[in-house]
Structure 1
C-alpha cells in the first residue's frame, strides 16, 4: 500500500485531501496543529470507508520539532504499514492573516513566513530521505499570489505563497533525478476555517465573492482536495513543476 503525509488535515482542504487520497487506496499520515479533535475526526472518516490513517501533532512554525517528527513518521510507517518509506507529501498546513502593509508587524510577518514558507521548505528537507523514488509532492499555495487574486491586506500572506510557488519549481528540478514530481495548487476563495473562520463570521462576503467567480459560487474544500489527490496519483505521472489554480475562474 502506498502512503501519503498530509499536513494540516484536521479541517478544510487538508481534511478533504486526506480523505480523498485514502479513498484511492492510499494510507495516510495526517497532521494537526491546535485541533487534535479534528485530526481524529479525519482518521475516523477514513477508517469508516475502510482506509488506514494515523494522526500526528505538528507545529509547522517550529522547525526545531522536525527531526523528532521524522523519527515518529519512520516509526509509524514501520509499525502500521511495515514500510521504511512513504510516497506522497502534501504541504498543506497554514493560516492567513489580513493586515495592510502599513499595519503589518514584524511578528505577524515572521509568523507567516515560518508557517507558510520556511515550514514546508525544511519539513520537506527533513522528510526527503523517507520519500520513495517516483513519489509526488503537492504544495498548497493561493491565488492571492497571482494578479487576479490581489486583495488589499494580504501582502505578507501572498508574498509567502508566491515564494512557495517558486520553491515548487526548484523542488521539481532538484528532485527530478529521483523521479519525484512536485506541483502546487492555488485555491481561490474557499469555504474553510482560514482567517479565523472568516466565512462563518462574515457570511455577507460570500455573495460578492461568488459574483466574481465565473462558475458562480465560492469553492468548497472537496473541490481542492480532489485536485490534490489527482496530482499525487498515477493519473498525473507526466505533470511536474506546475501551479494549478483551482478557483472556479475567480476574476475571470
Structure 2
C-alpha cells in the first residue's frame, strides 16, 4: 500500500474494535503513527497496538470513558504528550469514532439513556475536538462517525439517531470554522453493520434485522466495519484535500 500518510500522527477514539480498530490499521498501513483510545478493553487495545506496530508504525493506547466528559481535557493532554514524545508538536488526524448505544422505543427510553448517549456521542466529541483544535496541524483532517439513522427513523434507536444528526450538523459548522486552516471536516454515515456493536440489536431485539437490511439494500448484503474504515482512511489522505463538510453514506444503497 502506498505510504501516503508517512510522518502523520492520528488519533482514533474507540480504536480497540470494529470500525475504530480497522480505521487505525488502515491509517497505519498508509504510514501514519496512531494513538487509539479505549474504555475497558485493555487487552483488545494492546492487541491493536501490536498490530499497528507490525505494520511499521508507532502506536499507543490511552484509556478514557467518554461517558464522563470531565476526563476529556485530561485525554487531550495525554494525546499531546504522546505526540511530543514522538517528536512532533501537531496532531494531523482526528477520527471521532467512540460511541455508545441504548436500545428502546419512545415509551421505554430513560433520562439516563439520553444522558449517556448525549455525553458519549456528542458532548465529549465536541469537547475533545475543542481541546485538540489548537494542536491540529495546518491541512489536517477530522472525521466524525455519524449514522444512517441521522436521516432516517428506526424506532428502537430513537435515542441514538437524533444525537448522530446533531454531530452531523456540527460537522458542517466545523468545516466552516476550520476551513481557514485548510483542515477538512467530514462525517461518514454507515448503515446497520454486522459487528459486535450491533450484535444485541441483531441477535436479540430484532432477529430478522440482517435479512431485512440485506433485502432492502441495492448491493444485497449487510455492511461490515471494513466497508467504513477504508472510506475514513481515504478522507485522511492528501488526495481528499478538497472534500469538506460532507457526510458520506456507507450503506450499500439501503432503501434507494
Q: What TM-score do the two structures reach when normalised by structure 1?
A: 0.94
Distance in structure 2 (CA, Å) of the matches to 1:129 and 1:5: 15
Q: Higher RCO, 1 or 2 (CA under 8 Å, sep at least 6)?
A: 1
- Structure 2: gaps spanning 5 or more residues: 1-6
Which of 94, 97, 114 is equivalent to 2:99? 94
CA–CA distance in 1 between the matches of 2:212 and 2:130? 40
Per-residue deviation, 1:200:
5.5
Query: Structure 1: where are the runs of 5+ without partners?
Result: none
Backbone CA RMSD of aligned residues: 1.4
Structure 1 runs, 4 residues or longer, greater than 2 Å off: 195-205
SS across alignment from 2:159 = helix
- Equivalent position of 2:88 in the other structure: 83
In the superposition, relative to structure 1, how do residues 211 and 196 fare at CA in structure 2: closer, same or farther (>3 Å)?
closer
Would you say 1:117 and 2:129 are equivalent positions? no
- Give the number of the structure whose residues are more often helix, by fraction: 1
Deviation at 1:53, TM superposition (A): 1.1
Structure 2 Cα separation of the partners of residues 233 and 61 of structure 1? 30
Please identify, of 70-79 and 135-144, the stretch whose mean Cα deviation from structure 2 is larger.
70-79
Match in the other structure for 2:157: 154
Residue 248 of structure 2: aligned partner: 244
Aligned to 2:110: 105
Superposed CA deviations along residues 196-252 of structure 1, whole A, max 9, x for unmatched, are 644465764322221111101111111100000001111211000000000101112
* Structure 2 match to 1:25: 31
C-alpha distance in structure 2 between counterparts of 1:61 and 1:196, whole Å: 21
Is the CA contact 1:143–1:187 (under 8 Å) kept in the aligned structure 2?
yes
